[in-house]
Amino acid sequence: MPLTHYACAHCGFWQPWFAGQQPIFCPVCMDVRNALPPDGWDFRTVGDLTGAVETLWAEVAPNVIGFSCTPSFGLGSTGWLLLRPEGNVAFEGAPFYTESALAQVERLGGIKVLAGSHPHGFGAIWQLAERFRPEVVVHREALRFTKAFKVTWPADDDHQLAPGLTLHGTEGHYEGHAVLHDAGARALYCGDCLKVEFDGAGRPEAISCHKGFHYQIPLSHQELRRYREVIGALDFTAVYTPFEYAAGVTTAHAVALFDRLLAGRPSAKPIPLAELVP
């Protein structure tokens, strides 16, 4: 039977399924970290989304373009495109790429290497994989979530995508979760290792980390120790989550958060940045 791609309208996760039939369920919504859709399953194809959802893009930092959707779809993720002289690198995906967004990626030089942190950040990276035929790199333990696209290079715990740009396996929030460190820009594409809260003026004011955000499930101490070991070794002064860019969240903030959580009972509560690094 012919296959097509379906996105879960609740969380945005894409999966291939038989054309003309709705998938049986969404594996990401079935997971303990997500809520079930309150109105039942609802899946959308590219045809359904075309004309209903637009893809916007903006340069959020020098040579970093963020792609997102309006109205918001799924979890409302942002796909990051890093413009690099040796070939562009894309990390995470917008929930959906319109034809004009794909044409914009093409004008910007296409994609040489494509990677993602975990299913909440993948969005529609399958569209980028099909259009631009990049090297597709995902941590080996996250392969189980990549039915919608073909991984060409399963990564181990430390994997260089380009000079100064390295993927690091963290586990913790998700099986096979990985972060991308840009040493030159001193930036961390942190996936859901860190969740950032913003004040009314759009400045980051607090951070937290969690196993499951919806039900506020904290990480175990062993998971936090792994975060501390991996993320604490990376120098950064800004983070890109799958949703937003947060300048001013630093390695020191992250390490102080992990230490705070390791000192007591598990918690997924946000801690003000000013408390972490006075």
- Chain contacts with Zn ion (rule: CB under 5 A): 8, 10-11, 13, 26, 28-29, 120, 192
228-243 in b/e burial notation, b at 16+ Cβ within 10 A? Answer: bebbeebebebbbbbb
- Give 159 or 173: the residue with its C-beta nearer to Zn ion: 173
Contacts of 44 (CB under 8 A, 6+ apart): 6, 7, 9
What's the min distance (Å) between Cβ of 37 and Zn ion? 7
What's the min distance (Å) between Cβ of 84 and Zn ion? 26
CB atoms within 10 A of CB 211: 19
What's the min distance (Å) between Cβ of 266 and Zn ion? 17
- Output the six-digit token pair for 237: 């002064």
- Give 28 or 194: the residue with its C-beta nearer to Zn ion: 28
- Give 28 or 155: the residue with its C-beta nearer to Zn ion: 28
What's the min distance (Å) between Cβ of 189 and Zn ion? 13
- Give 88 or 127: the residue with its C-beta nearer to Zn ion: 127
Beta-strand pair 165-169/178-182: antiparallel
- Give 27 or 266: the residue with its C-beta nearer to Zn ion: 27
Would you tell me the crossing angle of helices 99-107 and 125-132 to the nearest 10 degrees?
50
What's the min distance (Å) between Cβ of 63 and Zn ion? 26
- Give 34 or 166: the residue with its C-beta nearer to Zn ion: 34
What's the min distance (Å) between Cβ of 27 and Zn ion? 8
- Give 195 or 253: the residue with its C-beta nearer to Zn ion: 195
Contacts of 277 (CB under 8 A, 6+ apart): 250, 252, 253, 256
Contacts of 178 (CB under 8 A, 6+ apart): 115, 116, 117, 118, 138, 139, 142, 155, 167, 168, 169, 170, 191
What's the min distance (Å) between Cβ of 238 and Zn ion? 20
Residue carrying the six token digits 């690198």: 89
Q: What share of the chain is helix, strand, coil (3-state, %, to 5)?
A: 20, 30, 45
